[in-house]
Amino acid sequence: MTLRTDYSGALRSSDIGRTVTVCGWVARRREHGEHLAFIDVRDHTGIVQCVVDGAADLRNEYVVKITGTVRARLEGTTNQALATGEVEIGDCAIEILNAAEPPPFPIDDRIDSDESVRLRYRYLDLRRERMQKNMRVRAVINQACRNAMAEQNFVEIETPMLIASTPEGARDFVVPSRLQPGSFYVLPQSPQLFKQLCMVGGLDRYFQVARCLRDEDLRADRQFEFMQLDLEMSFADQQDVLDATARAIAAAVKSVTGEDIAEIPTMPWIEAQERFGSDKPDLRFGMELIELTEVFAGTEFNAFKAPCIKGLRVEGGAEFTRSRLDDLTDMAKRYGAKGLVWMRVTDDGLDSPVAKFLSEDEIVKLRAATEAQPGDLLLLVADERPKVRHVLGLLRVELGRTPVTEGGLHFTWIVDFPLFEGLDDDGRPVAAHHLFTMPNPDDLDKLQSDPLAVRAQSYDLVLNGWELGSGSVRIHRADVQQLVFDAVGIEAEDAQRRFGFLLDAFKYGAPPHAGFAFGLDRLVAILAGEENIREVIAFPKTQSGLDLLTGAPSPIESSQLDELRLRHLPPPS
Ligand code: ASP
């Protein structure tokens, strides 16, 4: 350190008597009599109080260098809330390194500022303690992951950004080519195909802290560009990948919390769906879906004559007001249910608009199955099984919503996904993960006849209801890859045009391989106690995809358009 001797936030009683120089920003000034002022100086480590004489031209966010002597604060003026609260710097000599305009919002964690202003002036927002902490938590996690991968002999390899499309099921960002007018590069949705090519290339174990770009609607847990810890292993099976990934995850958690995580449990996809109505169950709370189909097997009540009935028991939910119940019903309908049946459990029985349609026997069995106690609320949905699970799964999340900082860290592997998640409008199966996922070998013969019954060798990692990442054992044989392309209706010619390079590579001795990728932004957000990944990204976009700081996206010069041989179409009428 040349300009300074100490960091402002690091001074303690043990420094009393030392002459120190700190550098930073003026966080606050308070006048103290005619001449004296208290100046709080802030750097990335925190704040220290400086007592200065005649500091007339010092204003907030001025950049200063202050030399003085560390001394104890006067009795009764110590500040327990501040790490440096027992000391101050006295006899100060001040050098102003730079003046500053008044900031557009207070740089103070205790004051909530409008997010659009924070993003417009992100460099000022970053000065706040919360953001300083988040950026550093992020860096520590990145480092821990890198170390964990290197320790396991993974090789860090950078894959290109200007590529042909890697399908992950999202919309591509495209980049027009100047040298090949009319042709486009695509920004990677993931390094998927390149990491598989690395395996063909004999690199054995690849990893990358990889930037991925997907043109999707933004949400609390989604940005156009995000970072993944991306890995791929040769001559490895599912368990090898889970173990290698778990080591990176454990290292990341330990780097922040100092604690070891327990072994990550595994749950089959179908179990997650049946018990939690989701493939990313939040296991911080119970409220599991209760199977009631049998209870109402012979019902006379028309609304319950459905292939599947499940319910939720909301403890203490009998207190919900009518309008809250109406809201939940509306929500269920929005999620696709025909309706939501609610029942308040009281000392006198069931209080519900549908109680009169149920037999004595059904009510007894319902109460037994749900273990409902007076004061509870039961919520029932009757429909096709996937619909019932989906709707109740979302209601469960709504009712059990837990702040990110509460409930601990509940990691789970979800395994045995179906290969296809459903059929598209043309009746073609849609890949649940991506097209390079190895079907379960026992199900290969069903690829054409019963594609939705084909299980995949794919797996997700879930943390507290967030999908942290996905991976799979890959198809390494061109003939199996062709079967999957056939099943989803990609013509041989089309496959050759889009992924010919991969299919060709597979002809030259592709080893069996498998991999995974997890989202660093999501992991960092949870470990930093943030609900929104924007808080852990230095320069994020807004919900509508704008970079308020640089003004992107913005029009380009017409000369650039000419060079690219591009022309605007009029907006659609
Ligand atoms: N490429 C996949 C993804 O980005 C991860 C993987 O299969 O390794 O979700």
- pLDDT tens per residue, range 501-560: 888 999 999 999 999 999 999 999 999 999 999 999 999 999 999 999 999 999 999 999
Helix (H) or strand (E) holding 487: helix 478-488
Q: Which atom of ligand 1 is closest in space to residue 437's alpha carbon?
A: 7
Question: Which residue has the CA at smallest separation from atom 7 of ligand 1?
Answer: 471
Q: Which atom of ligand 1 is closest in space to residue 469's alpha carbon?
A: 9
Gap from CA of 481 to ligand 1 centroid (Å)? 17
Q: Is the pLDDT of residue 326 over 90?
A: yes
Q: Is the pLDDT of residue 220 over 90?
A: no
Gap from CA of 92 to ligand 1 centroid (Å)? 56
Which among 485, 547, 463 has a CA at the least distance from the CA of 218? 547
DSSP letter for each residue of 318-383: GG--HHHHHHHHHHHHHTT-S--EEEEEETTEEE-TTGGGS-HHHHHHHHHHHT--TT-EEEEEEE
Helix (H) or strand (E) holding 488: helix 478-488
Gap from CA of 192 to ligand 1 centroid (Å)? 6
519 CB within 6 A, ligand 1:
no
DSSP state, residue 163: B
pLDDT for position 219: 84
Gap from CA of 519 to ligand 1 centroid (Å)? 10
Q: Do the beta carbons of residue 365 and residue 296 sit within 8 Å?
A: no
Gap between the Cα atoms of 82 and 483, Å rounded = 64
Q: Is the pLDDT of residue 304 over 90?
A: yes
412 CB within 6 A, ligand 1:
no
Q: Is the pLDDT of residue 197 over 90?
A: yes
pTM to 2 decimals? 0.94
437 CB within 6 A, ligand 1:
no
Question: Other CB atoms closer than 10 Å to residue 310's CB: what's the count?
Answer: 24
168 CB within 6 A, ligand 1:
yes
- pLDDT tens per residue, range 20-48: 999 999 999 998 887 889 999 999 999 99
Q: Which atom of ligand 1 is closest in space to residue 436's alpha carbon?
A: 7
Q: What tokens does 294 get?
A: 């049998």
* Phi/psi of residue 547, nearest 5 degrees: -100, 100
Q: Do the beta carbons of residue 306 and residue 382 sit within 8 Å?
A: yes
